[in-house]
Chains A and B, each alone.
Chain A
Amino acid sequence: DAGVTQSPTHLIKTRGQHVTLRCSPISGHKSVSWYQQVLGQGPQFIFQYYEKEERGRGNFPDRFSARQFPNYSSELNVNALLLGDSALYLCASSPDMGVVEKLFFGSGTQLSVL
Protein backbone atom coordinates (compact mmCIF):
# COMPACT_ATOMS: atom_id res chain seq x y z
CA ASP A 1 0.00 0.00 0.00
CA ALA A 2 1.16 3.52 -0.74
CA GLY A 3 2.02 5.73 2.19
CA VAL A 4 1.15 9.39 2.55
CA THR A 5 2.05 11.14 -0.69
CA GLN A 6 2.69 14.85 -1.08
CA SER A 7 3.17 17.01 -4.13
CA PRO A 8 5.15 18.79 -5.28
CA THR A 9 8.36 17.78 -3.51
CA HIS A 10 9.95 21.18 -3.99
CA LEU A 11 8.53 24.59 -4.80
CA ILE A 12 9.94 28.08 -5.19
CA LYS A 13 7.73 31.16 -4.85
CA THR A 14 8.22 34.88 -4.36
CA ARG A 15 6.89 37.06 -1.59
CA GLY A 16 3.24 37.94 -1.90
CA GLN A 17 2.36 34.97 -4.06
CA HIS A 18 -0.06 32.19 -3.21
CA VAL A 19 0.81 28.49 -2.96
CA THR A 20 -1.14 25.24 -2.89
CA LEU A 21 0.32 22.00 -1.56
CA ARG A 22 -1.34 18.62 -1.96
CA CYS A 23 -1.58 15.50 0.17
CA SER A 24 -3.05 12.05 -0.39
CA PRO A 25 -3.56 10.05 2.80
CA ILE A 26 -3.03 6.36 3.27
CA SER A 27 -5.95 4.39 1.87
CA GLY A 28 -8.66 4.14 4.51
CA HIS A 29 -7.41 7.09 6.53
CA LYS A 30 -9.99 9.82 7.02
CA SER A 31 -8.01 12.45 8.92
CA VAL A 32 -5.26 14.66 7.54
CA SER A 33 -3.02 16.97 9.52
CA TRP A 34 -0.53 19.57 8.34
CA TYR A 35 2.73 20.56 10.01
CA GLN A 36 5.29 23.26 9.25
CA GLN A 37 8.95 22.55 9.89
CA VAL A 38 11.25 25.54 9.69
CA LEU A 39 14.93 24.76 9.20
CA GLY A 40 16.53 23.74 12.47
CA GLN A 41 13.24 23.36 14.33
CA GLY A 42 10.78 20.60 15.08
CA PRO A 43 7.52 20.34 13.17
CA GLN A 44 4.74 22.65 14.31
CA PHE A 45 1.08 21.68 14.08
CA ILE A 46 -0.93 23.83 11.67
CA PHE A 47 -4.32 22.10 11.58
CA GLN A 48 -6.21 18.82 11.41
CA TYR A 49 -9.01 18.02 9.00
CA TYR A 50 -11.57 15.28 9.44
CA GLU A 51 -14.70 14.69 7.41
CA LYS A 52 -13.88 17.79 5.34
CA GLU A 53 -13.92 20.13 8.33
CA GLU A 54 -11.15 21.80 10.29
CA ARG A 55 -11.14 20.16 13.71
CA GLY A 56 -8.12 21.71 15.34
CA ARG A 57 -5.74 24.55 14.59
CA GLY A 58 -2.35 25.62 15.84
CA ASN A 59 -1.06 29.16 16.19
CA PHE A 60 -1.00 30.14 12.53
CA PRO A 61 -2.50 33.21 10.83
CA ASP A 62 -5.54 33.13 8.59
CA ARG A 63 -3.24 33.23 5.56
CA PHE A 64 -3.00 29.49 6.11
CA SER A 65 -6.03 27.50 5.09
CA ALA A 66 -6.83 24.04 3.86
CA ARG A 67 -9.59 21.88 2.60
CA GLN A 68 -10.32 18.19 2.50
CA PHE A 69 -12.04 16.47 -0.35
CA PRO A 70 -14.56 13.60 -0.39
CA ASN A 71 -11.73 11.15 -1.13
CA TYR A 72 -10.01 12.48 2.03
CA SER A 73 -7.13 14.08 0.15
CA SER A 74 -6.23 17.58 1.23
CA GLU A 75 -4.81 20.86 -0.02
CA LEU A 76 -2.91 23.39 2.05
CA ASN A 77 -3.15 26.97 0.84
CA VAL A 78 -0.95 29.84 1.93
CA ASN A 79 -1.73 33.38 0.77
CA ALA A 80 0.49 36.46 0.68
CA LEU A 81 3.66 34.45 1.18
CA LEU A 82 6.34 35.80 3.49
CA LEU A 83 10.01 34.91 3.60
CA GLY A 84 9.33 33.24 6.94
CA ASP A 85 6.96 30.77 5.30
CA SER A 86 9.97 28.99 3.82
CA ALA A 87 9.82 25.55 5.39
CA LEU A 88 9.22 21.86 4.93
CA TYR A 89 5.47 21.25 5.00
CA LEU A 90 4.55 17.81 6.25
CA CYS A 91 1.24 16.08 5.83
CA ALA A 92 0.19 13.26 8.14
CA SER A 93 -2.79 10.94 8.00
CA SER A 94 -4.54 8.78 10.56
CA PRO A 95 -7.56 6.47 10.44
CA ASP A 96 -9.77 8.84 12.41
CA MET A 97 -9.55 12.21 14.13
CA GLY A 98 -7.09 12.32 16.96
CA VAL A 99 -5.74 8.81 16.49
CA VAL A 100 -2.15 9.93 17.02
CA GLU A 101 -0.96 6.40 17.74
CA LYS A 102 -1.56 5.60 14.06
CA LEU A 103 -0.24 8.83 12.57
CA PHE A 104 1.89 8.49 9.45
CA PHE A 105 3.88 11.31 7.83
CA GLY A 106 4.64 12.00 4.21
CA SER A 107 8.06 13.11 2.97
CA GLY A 108 6.97 16.72 2.76
CA THR A 109 7.02 19.64 0.36
CA GLN A 110 10.01 21.94 0.62
CA LEU A 111 8.80 25.50 0.03
CA SER A 112 11.27 28.29 -0.60
CA VAL A 113 10.01 31.87 -0.63
CA LEU A 114 12.35 34.39 -2.28
Chain B
Amino acid sequence: AQSVTQPDIHITVSEGASLELRCNYSYGATPYLFWYVQSPGQGLQLLLKYFSGDTLVQGIKGFEAEFKRSQSSFNLRKPSVHWSDAAEYFCAVGGGGADGLTFGKGTHLIIQP
Protein backbone atom coordinates (compact mmCIF):
# COMPACT_ATOMS: atom_id res chain seq x y z
CA ALA B 1 0.00 0.00 0.00
CA GLN B 2 1.19 3.47 -0.76
CA SER B 3 1.78 5.98 2.02
CA VAL B 4 3.26 9.41 2.65
CA THR B 5 4.93 10.65 5.81
CA GLN B 6 5.47 14.28 6.59
CA PRO B 7 7.39 14.15 9.86
CA ASP B 8 6.99 17.81 10.78
CA ILE B 9 3.50 18.88 11.84
CA HIS B 10 4.56 22.50 12.36
CA ILE B 11 7.59 24.44 11.17
CA THR B 12 8.42 28.04 12.08
CA VAL B 13 10.79 29.99 9.87
CA SER B 14 11.87 33.62 9.92
CA GLU B 15 11.01 35.69 6.89
CA GLY B 16 13.91 35.63 4.47
CA ALA B 17 15.31 32.38 5.82
CA SER B 18 15.56 29.17 3.85
CA LEU B 19 12.99 26.40 4.12
CA GLU B 20 12.97 22.64 3.77
CA LEU B 21 9.86 20.52 4.27
CA ARG B 22 10.36 16.79 4.49
CA CYS B 23 8.39 14.09 2.72
CA ASN B 24 8.96 10.34 2.68
CA TYR B 25 6.87 7.98 0.63
CA SER B 26 6.20 4.31 0.21
CA TYR B 27 5.17 3.10 -3.23
CA GLY B 28 5.63 -0.16 -5.08
CA ALA B 29 6.61 1.26 -8.44
CA THR B 30 7.98 4.48 -9.85
CA PRO B 31 5.86 7.12 -8.18
CA TYR B 32 4.35 10.32 -9.32
CA LEU B 33 5.11 12.84 -6.56
CA PHE B 34 3.47 16.15 -5.81
CA TRP B 35 3.59 19.09 -3.44
CA TYR B 36 0.43 21.11 -2.87
CA VAL B 37 -0.21 24.22 -0.81
CA GLN B 38 -3.47 25.07 0.91
CA SER B 39 -4.47 28.36 2.51
CA PRO B 40 -7.16 28.31 5.23
CA GLY B 41 -10.56 27.31 3.86
CA GLN B 42 -9.23 26.94 0.35
CA GLY B 43 -8.62 24.14 -2.10
CA LEU B 44 -5.26 22.74 -3.13
CA GLN B 45 -2.82 24.54 -5.37
CA LEU B 46 -0.16 22.48 -7.11
CA LEU B 47 3.38 23.74 -6.41
CA LEU B 48 5.32 21.15 -8.39
CA LYS B 49 5.35 17.55 -9.53
CA TYR B 50 7.82 14.82 -10.44
CA PHE B 51 7.24 12.00 -12.89
CA SER B 52 10.59 11.16 -14.39
CA GLY B 53 13.83 12.65 -15.62
CA ASP B 54 15.72 15.33 -13.74
CA THR B 55 15.36 14.64 -10.03
CA LEU B 56 15.41 18.34 -9.16
CA VAL B 57 12.13 19.93 -10.15
CA GLN B 58 11.21 23.57 -10.16
CA GLY B 59 7.78 24.81 -9.25
CA ILE B 60 5.84 27.98 -8.80
CA LYS B 61 6.52 30.71 -6.25
CA GLY B 62 10.25 29.89 -6.14
CA PHE B 63 9.83 26.37 -4.72
CA GLU B 64 11.86 23.36 -5.77
CA ALA B 65 11.96 19.71 -4.72
CA GLU B 66 14.45 16.90 -5.09
CA PHE B 67 13.50 13.27 -5.66
CA LYS B 68 15.85 10.83 -3.97
CA ARG B 69 14.90 7.27 -4.81
CA SER B 70 17.44 5.73 -2.42
CA GLN B 71 15.90 7.63 0.49
CA SER B 72 12.29 7.47 -0.73
CA SER B 73 12.15 11.20 -0.20
CA PHE B 74 10.82 14.22 -2.02
CA ASN B 75 11.71 17.25 0.10
CA LEU B 76 10.47 20.72 -0.72
CA ARG B 77 12.80 23.71 -0.52
CA LYS B 78 12.76 27.44 -0.91
CA PRO B 79 15.85 29.64 -0.50
CA SER B 80 14.07 32.63 1.03
CA VAL B 81 10.53 32.54 2.43
CA HIS B 82 8.03 35.37 2.34
CA TRP B 83 5.24 36.04 4.84
CA SER B 84 2.75 35.01 2.13
CA ASP B 85 4.19 31.47 2.17
CA ALA B 86 2.48 30.78 5.50
CA ALA B 87 0.06 27.93 4.74
CA GLU B 88 -0.40 24.17 4.95
CA TYR B 89 1.79 22.08 2.68
CA PHE B 90 0.92 18.58 1.52
CA CYS B 91 3.06 15.97 -0.14
CA ALA B 92 1.25 13.35 -2.24
CA VAL B 93 2.06 10.20 -4.18
CA GLY B 94 0.21 8.39 -6.92
CA GLY B 95 0.75 6.14 -9.87
CA GLY B 96 -2.04 7.05 -12.18
CA GLY B 97 -4.82 4.56 -12.70
CA ALA B 98 -8.01 4.67 -10.70
CA ASP B 99 -6.64 4.80 -7.18
CA GLY B 100 -6.20 8.53 -6.76
CA LEU B 101 -3.51 10.29 -4.79
CA THR B 102 -2.35 9.47 -1.26
CA PHE B 103 -1.58 12.56 0.80
CA GLY B 104 0.51 13.12 3.87
CA LYS B 105 -0.99 14.77 6.93
CA GLY B 106 0.57 18.09 6.04
CA THR B 107 3.07 20.53 7.49
CA HIS B 108 1.84 23.83 8.85
CA LEU B 109 4.32 26.59 7.96
CA ILE B 110 4.49 29.64 10.20
CA ILE B 111 6.52 32.67 9.13
CA GLN B 112 8.02 34.87 11.83
CA PRO B 113 8.64 38.54 11.01
Number of interface residues of B (CB under 8 A): 27
Q: Which of A12-20, A35-43, A65-73, A78-86 contacts B (4 or more CB under 8 A)?
A: A35-43
Chain A residues 62-111 with CB under 8 Å of chain B are: 90, 97-101, 103-108, 110
Q: Tell me whether A33 and B44 are in contact in the complex, defined as CB-CB below 8 angstroms, given that A42-B106, A100-B94, A101-B49 are known contacts.
A: no
Q: How far is the CB of B21 from chain A (nearest CB, A)?
A: 13
Q: Say which residue of B42, B45, B99, B104 sits within 8 Å of A42 (CB atoms).
A: B104
- Across the interface, name the chain A residue whose C-beta is closest to B100: A45
Q: Is the CB of A44 within 8 A of B103?
A: yes
Is A48 in the interface zone, CB < 8 Å from B? Answer: yes
Number of interface residues of A (CB under 8 A): 28
Q: Tell me the bound Cα distance from A46 to B13 in angstroms.
A: 34
Is B32 in the interface zone, CB < 8 Å from A? Answer: yes
Point out the residues of chain B lying under 8 angstroms from A58, CB to CB.
99-100
Point out the residues of chain A lying under 8 angstroms from B67, CB to CB.
none
Is B87 in the interface zone, CB < 8 Å from A? Answer: no
Q: Is the CB of A41 within 8 A of B106?
A: yes
Q: Tell me the bound Cα distance from A97 to B100 in angstroms.
A: 10
Is B28 in the interface zone, CB < 8 Å from A? Answer: no
- Across the interface, name the chain B residue whose C-beta is closest to A58: B100
Q: Tell me whether A45 and B97 are in contact in the complex, defined as CB-CB below 8 angstroms, given that A90-B44, A107-B42 are known contacts.
A: no
Interface string of B40-76 (1 = CB under 8 A from A): 0111111001010000000000000000000000000
Is B19 in the interface zone, CB < 8 Å from A? Answer: no
Q: Tell me the bound Cα distance from A25 to B101 in angstroms.
A: 18
**A residues apposed to B, CB below 8 Å:** 4, 33, 35, 40-45, 47-48, 50, 55-56, 58, 90, 97-101, 103-108, 110
8 A/B residue pairs, CB under 8 Å, sorted by A: A4-B43, A40-B106, A42-B103, A42-B105, A56-B100, A90-B43, A98-B97, A107-B42
Other contacts beyond A42-B4, A97-B97, A103-B46: 12, CB < 8 A: A40-B106, A42-B92, A44-B103, A45-B100, A48-B100, A56-B99, A98-B98, A100-B94, A101-B51, A105-B43, A107-B42, A108-B43
